[in-house]
Amino acid sequence: MFYKLFSIVKNTFVEIIRQPIYAIIIAAAVFLFIISPSLTMYSLDDDNKFLREIGLSTLFIAGLFISIFSASAAITEEIETKTIITTLSKPIPRFIFILGKFLGVIFAVILAHYILTIALLMSIRHGVLTTASDYHDMTVLTCAGATLGLSIIITSFLNYSYDFKFTSTAIIFTSIFATISIVFLFFIDREWRFYPANNGFNMLDVYASILLLIALFVISAAAIMFSTRFNVIVTLSCCIGLFLLGLVSDYVFGRLADTHLWAKIGKIIIPSFQAFWITDAIYEESAKITFSYIISCGIYGLIYTAAFILLGIAMFERKQVG
């Protein structure tokens, strides 16, 4: 049973990172991180705080589309092309199939989120050049250039010489070199000195990224659930609608939950994504995100993730795939 689950997880993960849309979304998000310091320098408020807000928004939107398209590729396409019949005839229990597909999607989302979080941290460390006396952070530019350059060069060589899949190989090497770069930047300051205390990184950004990842787990589970019944367009619409409704659930349902039954039910059914969205804390000097808050949000997200997966399994058990 475990071997079957592992095989589904591995195959799903590999298939997702080989999809061109996966690499395109990551590349588009990285490009936005690169140009964000230039875009935010004309704001009327604190430019660097605005840079953080745009960066976190880009990080989540990229993860949102990756999770939805990955879930649709993992479930909907197999149903439409009838390849799922071969898989289920091995035999593999349907709940193992759904669980394996979900875990494969989650690992793909984690990989993309990890790469984009490093890109976001680099962008924030570079910051916005608000005055004429400000200068570019050459450590960030060098590390970013080396990460992208080496990844493309090595991937191109392996693709040409050994017929490696370009997109998936590039993603893997980008994650490796990005890890090396962020570790280097953690210890080296803008002046190329060993000065970890002045590395320009803020734990608030890391915590915000973790919370957004938890929210993406919930979205991914919902996308898997919707994909068992609907095509990619409907799944995309449902997931975006769920996210938008979750952002305003405290206002729509929370204030009426004590007096109206429908509001109480809505508050329970719809996850509050506002709990994972802490960009408002960026503009509060005294605001702090504690580790206990992250644990609480993790438990909250795990409950909804499990609920959506169980619903997806129940819906898939009754679906005719032959």
SS3 for 194? strand
**Closest to 148 in 3D by CA, of 292, 12, 30:** 30
Q: What is the pLDDT of residue 46?
A: 63
d(CA 245, CA 291): 27
Which DSSP string corresponds to 69-113? HHHIIIIIHHHHTTHHHHHHTTT--HHHHHHHHHHHHHHHHHHHH
Helix, strand, coil % over all residues of the chain, rounded to 5:
80, 0, 20
pLDDT confidence band for 65 (50 / 70 / 90): very high
How far apart are alpha carbons 244 and 98 in whole angstroms? 26
CA 160 – CA 262 distance, rounded (Å):
60
Whether residue 106 is predicted with pLDDT greater than 80 in this model: the reply is yes
CB contact at 8 A, 32 and 86:
no
Percentage of residues of the chain with pLDDT beyond 90: 59
pLDDT at 130: 66
Confidence of residue 284 (pLDDT cuts 50, 70, 90): low
DSSP-derived 3-state class of residue 196:
helix
Mean pLDDT of the chain: 89
- At residue 215, the pLDDT reads 96
Asked if pLDDT for residue 310 goes beyond 70, the answer is: yes
Can you give the pLDDT at residue 127?
A: 84
Q: CA 52, CA 114: separation in Å to the nearest integer?
A: 16
**What pLDDT does 321 receive?**
66
pLDDT at residue 115, as a whole number: 98
pLDDT of residue 285: 61
| Mean pLDDT value of segment 271-291 | 79
Separation CA 185–CA 183 (nearest Å) = 5
**50, pLDDT greater than 90:** no
* Tokens 């095509």 -> residue: 231
pLDDT tens digits, one per residue of 234-255: 999 999 999 999 988 888 787 7
Residue 8 pLDDT greater than 60, yes or no: yes
- pLDDT band per the 50, 70, 90 thresholds, residue 135: confident
pLDDT tier for residue 305 given thresholds of 50, 70 and 90: very high
Q: Is 131 left (phi over 0), alpha (psi -120 to 50) or beta?
A: beta
Task: Give the pLDDT confidence score for residue 63 in this predicted structure.
Answer: 95
For position 78, what pLDDT does the model report? 81
* pLDDT attached to residue 259: 79
Instruction: Answer with the residue of higher pLDDT: 45 or 53.
Output: 53
Asked if pLDDT for residue 80 goes beyond 90, the answer is no
- Distance separating alpha carbons of residues 117 and 60, to the nearest angstrom: 10
Residue 125's alpha-carbon distances to 49, 188, 223, 229, 318, in angstroms, are: 12, 12, 34, 44, 51
pLDDT of 82 over the 80 cut = no
The Cα diameter of the chain in Å comes to: 68
Whether residue 287 has pLDDT greater than 70: no
Nearest to 128 by CA among 136, 116, 120, 138: 136
